[in-house]
């Protein structure tokens, strides 16, 4: 039976390897041979999947350390290796003029050029000549014509901008109409419900129907095979949460479609 | 024979245009771009160009991926390497002044680069800031490091600074380290300051 002491031992090996990888310490602080021997000794004790995973993770970290040890030796044997502490001390002792002199002797700046070709200049001139002035490009609102006056409530109702009754009451009465037409627990084809003798009224009914569905008064059912859409009124309006993800379902209120519906009646 | 010579001349001129004119975010071109533009003998063309550039104190430098330059680069390593035109000889003190570098910016750059080299190519930003703040104010240290990152001398990942493409292309790192610790770099032909009178 694996003990927590053995797991702790592996976790300590992993944390040491991770610390050296991240902070760039001396990778030879990890006794790779001893760590591998530990893994070999513990391997027969593992029974649970988590223990095998821990074993694999430890082996992975040790192999990274071996790679770092190789890089360490390569760097130390290269001509670029100098004791970091010595460099730090030397840097602190050098005055700016000496540092500038060192830079001057070791700096070989990259030479580069930018160009503007004759073709690109011609394209730019052509673009400039065809570009409209800024004030022409900015969209202007049409200026108001006629005198300003106040509109009465009757004017707004006649213009069908507002209704006499509140919108909620309007929606509720529309919902009751849907329930009456569909019947108890039944559904009604979408176009049968929104149809009105005039196209404009049909559009208004479609507009109100969209609110019925959005605010939970009715459900919309789509049969993709028949390409038919139905409305099923809910017995009671369902509370809609606007924090849940919703989808939009566009429906075209096509004039030809309305006309076909009218001719079919 | 004359056709071969003229073909090489054309390719050398093309190589010069490709190498000099900047087309990417950073100058220089990749080896595979040179191979595509100049053919598989592009290294010969580059050698010929180098001979011409030497007359004006320039040369084509190659920067390979990875910290160390391979002794015998493979074709794949050459494809991924980047070729730049650089100044061959060290600048004079007057040229350095004309380049627009402030003395404190140069000093901070030398300190930063040599510190990163001593730490095997990466160092925590806060360690470098701590080192520089012994002699410079905090705002100047931050401004300088950000400037080196913008220019391509350094790159920063998770608050760790590395040497970036410009440091590897422009700075002779071995000579830099030798000069910092007090030794002499491998002598390069030092240009002499222009003298007022000549015999």
Which positions in chain A touch B99 (Cβ < 8 Å)? 109
- What is the per-residue DSSP string for A48-73? SHHHHHHHHHHHHHHHHHHHHHHHHH
Residue of B nearest to A115 (CA): B21
Give the per-residue pLDDT at B186: 46
Burial (CB < 10 A; 0-12, 13-18, 19+), residue A5, is exposed
On whether ipTM exceeds 0.85, the answer is: no
Q: Say yes or no to pLDDT of A29 above 70.
A: yes
A vs B: CB pairs below 8 A: 132
What residue ranges in chain B does DSSP mark as E strands? 29-30, 58-63, 82-87, 122-124, 154-157, 160-163
Q: What is the pLDDT of residues B167-182, one digit of tens each?
A: 999 999 989 988 988 7
**A113 CB within 8 Å of a chain B CB:** yes
Alpha carbon distances (Å) from A80 to A83, A94, B116, B172, B176: 10, 20, 11, 11, 10
Q: Say yes or no to pLDDT of A91 above 60.
A: yes
Tell me the average pLDDT across A32-61: 91
Which residues are bridge partners to B157 per DSSP? Answer: B160
Please tell me the pTM assigned to this model. Answer: 0.56
**Residue B141 banded pLDDT, cuts 50, 70, 90:** very high
Residue of A nearest to B112 (CA): A91
Higher pLDDT, A156 or B14: B14
**Residue A79 banded pLDDT, cuts 50, 70, 90:** low
Tokens of B94: 């007057």
Which positions in chain B touch A111 (Cβ < 8 Å)? 20, 58, 84-87
Mean pLDDT value across chain B: 85
Smallest Cα distance from B61 to chain A, Å: 9
Whether residue A107 and residue B91 make contact (CB cut-off 8 A), yes or no, is yes
Tokens of A243: 């924090």
Give the per-residue pLDDT at B71: 79
Q: Say yes or no to pLDDT of B128 above 60.
A: yes
Give the per-residue pLDDT at B104: 87
Say which of A71, A92, A102 has its CB closest to residue B179. A102
Chosen from A72, A100, A113, A116 to mutate, greatest number of chain B CBs within 10 A: A100
Smallest Cα distance from B1 to chain A, Å: 33
Please state, in angstroms and rounded to a whole number, the distance separating the CA atoms of residues B28 and B19: 6
Tell me the average pLDDT across B12-40: 88
**Residue B187 banded pLDDT, cuts 50, 70, 90:** very low
Which positions in chain A touch B20 (Cβ < 8 Å)? 111-113
Phi, psi of B120 (to 5 degrees): 60, 35
């Amino acid at each position: 039976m694996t003990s927590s002491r053995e797991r702790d031992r592996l976790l300590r090996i992993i944390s040491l390897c991770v610390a050296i990888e991240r902070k760039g310490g001396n990778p030879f602080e990890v006794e790779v041979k001893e760590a591998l021997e530990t893994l070999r000794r513990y391997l027969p004790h593992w029974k649970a999947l988590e223990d095998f995973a821990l074993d694999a993770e430890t082996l992975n970290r040790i192999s990274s350390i071996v790679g770092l040890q190789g890089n360490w030796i390569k760097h130390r044997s290269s001509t670029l290796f100098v004791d970091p502490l010595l460099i730090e001390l030397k840097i602190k002792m050098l005055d700016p003029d000496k540092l500038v002199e060192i830079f001057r002797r070791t700096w070989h700046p990259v030479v580069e050029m930018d160009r503007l070709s004759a073709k690109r200049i011609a394209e730019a001139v052509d673009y400039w000549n065809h570009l409209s002035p800024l004030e022409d490009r900015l969209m202007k609102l049409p200026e108001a014509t006629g005198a300003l006056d106040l509109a009465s409530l009757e004017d707004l109702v006649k213009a069908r901008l507002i209704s006499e009754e509140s919108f909620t009451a309007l929606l509720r009465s529309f919902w009751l109409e849907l329930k009456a037409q569909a019947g108890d627990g039944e559904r009604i084809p979408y176009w049968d419900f929104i149809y009105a003798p005039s196209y404009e009224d049909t559009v208004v009914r479609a507009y109100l129907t969209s609110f019925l569905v959005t605010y939970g008064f009715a459900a919309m059912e789509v049969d993709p095979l028949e390409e038919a859409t139905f409305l099923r009124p809910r017995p009671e309006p369902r509370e809609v949460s606007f924090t849940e993800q919703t989808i939009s379902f566009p429906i075209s209120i096509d004039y030809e479609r309305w006309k076909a519906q009218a001719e079919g009646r | 024979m004359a056709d071969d010579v003229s073909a090489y001349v054309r390719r050398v001129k093309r190589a010069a245009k490709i190498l000099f004119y900047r087309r990417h975010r950073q100058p220089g071109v990749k080896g595979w771009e040179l191979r595509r533009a100049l053919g598989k003998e592009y290294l010969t063309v580059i050698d010929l160009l180098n001979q011409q550039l030497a007359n004006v104190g320039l040369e084509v430098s190659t920067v390979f991926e990875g910290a160390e330059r391979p002794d015998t680069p493979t074709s794949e390593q050459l494809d991924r390497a980047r070729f730049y035109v650089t100044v061959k000889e060290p600048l004079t003190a007057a040229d350095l002044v004309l380049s627009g570098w402030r003395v404190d910016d140069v000093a901070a750059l030398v300190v930063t680069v040599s510190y990163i080299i001593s730490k095997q190519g990466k160092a925590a930003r806060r360690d470098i800031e701590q080192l520089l703040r012994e002699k410079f104010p905090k705002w100047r240290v931050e401004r300088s490091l950000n400037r080196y990152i913008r220019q391509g001398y350094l790159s920063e990942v998770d608050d760790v600074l590395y040497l970036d493409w410009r440091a590897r292309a422009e700075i002779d790192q071995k000579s830099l380290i030798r000069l910092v610790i007090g030794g002499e770099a491998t002598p390069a032909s030092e240009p002499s300051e222009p003298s007022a009178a000549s015999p």
